[in-house]
Amino acid sequence: MRRGSKILPAVARELLAWINAQLKKALPGYCAFCRVAVADGVPWCADCYAEMPWNHSACRLCAEPLPTASLESMASLRCGRCLRQPPAQTAAWVPLRYEGRMIRLIQRYKFSADARAGEVLIQLMLASLNSSSEQGEALIGVPGQRERTREHGFDHTAWLTQRLAAHLNLPVIEAERSRETPSQRGLDRISRRRNVKRAFLVPQPLPATVMVVDDVMTTGATLESLASACHKAGAEHVTAVAFARTPSTRI
């Protein structure tokens, strides 16, 4: 009986997950932005999806939004700052700009612990993934600050990293903070870089290609600092990953 009592809950969980998946396919959902009924299991309608602030024309290293470029030049597109001084990361996957509805959605996720908003963001990221998107062999999230994690009630970057890793079927490797750093909020680009310089370490050897993850990429200073720590731990190719990129005109 004891053995059966352990098996039945697992079977029940699998059955419930299957039923939920079938219901999701059979019943209409609603667009997370305009509330119109939608099908196909996606949390957005075609119109809202088309109006997203996609970051298609962006620097390949830091995801800085740039003027529209031709498809032929997209693969090698670099901003002036990265041409002068390449960052520690060797690629960036930041599919959206931190503008309009993305600001509201990310704030709901980050400050209100809204799991629905977080899942919509994850699905938008995955929808942007294609054969040319940079991927790695493991994901490494920016380690949270203890005080800020208590303030928000959860570690939003850890949640994003775990959910993204599950979808991509990749392991998560933990990084550590070598020191606590003041909030980046309100700091200019130079102060942000100084604030997080050598702030992270990775206490184990890394595979050759990894992805470092944060929720929003503002100047890129935090992700670049973590990318530097990854290189020290043996990574050769590091992709910076985030939901959205803040255009430099808003910093």
Average pLDDT for 164-180:
90
Given this model, what pLDDT does residue 19 score? 57
Report how far residue 64's alpha carbon sits from residue 78's, in angstroms, rounded to the nearest whole number: 9
Confidence of residue 250 (pLDDT cuts 50, 70, 90): low
Tell me the DSSP string of the chain: -HHHHHHHHHHHHHHHHHHHHHHHHHS-EE-TTT--EE-TT-SS-HHHHHTS-B--SB-TTT--B-S---HHHHTT---HHHHHS--S-SEEE--EES-HHHHHHHHHHHHH--HHHHHHHHHHHHHH--TTS---S-EEEPPPPHHHHHHHSS-HHHHHHHHHHHHHT--B---EESS-----TT--HHHHHHHHTT-EE--S---SEEEEE-SEESSSHHHHHHHHHHHHTT-SEEEEE-SEE--GGG-
User: pLDDT at residue 28 above 60?
Assistant: no
pLDDT in tens, 89-117: 999 999 999 999 999 999 999 888 888 89
* Rounded CA separation 93/18 (Å): 32
**pLDDT digits over 183-240, tens only?**
666 656 666 666 677 779 999 999 999 999 999 999 899 999 999 999 999 999 999 9
The reported pLDDT for the residue numbered 106 is: 94
For the chain, the average pLDDT equals: 82
Overall pTM surpassing 0.85 (yes/no): no
Whole-number pLDDT of residue 126: 92
Q: What is the mean predicted confidence (pLDDT) over 128-139?
A: 77
Pairing between β-strand 29-30 and β-strand 37-38 as defined by DSSP bridges: antiparallel
Question: What's the confidence (pLDDT) of residue 190?
Answer: 67
CA distance 14 to 114: 25
Roughly how many angstroms between the first and final C-alpha of the chain, as a whole number? 62
Report domain 55-250's class: alpha beta
What's the token pair of residue 18? 């299957």
30-46 per-position pLDDT tens digit: 898 998 988 777 889 99
Domain parsing of the chain, residue ranges: 55-250
**For residues 214 and 212, what is the distance between their CA atoms, to the nearest angstrom?**
7
Predicted confidence band at 5 (pLDDT cuts at 50, 70, 90)?
very low
Structural contact between residues 60 and 76, judged by C-beta atoms closer than 8 angstroms: yes
Minimum mean pLDDT range among 13-22, 119-128, 177-186, 222-231: 13-22
Tokens 């890793």 label which residue? 165
pLDDT of 51 above 70: yes
72 falls in which pLDDT band (50, 70, 90)? Answer: very low
- The CA–CA distances, whole Å, from 244 to 99, 151, 162, 174, 215 equal 9, 23, 18, 22, 7
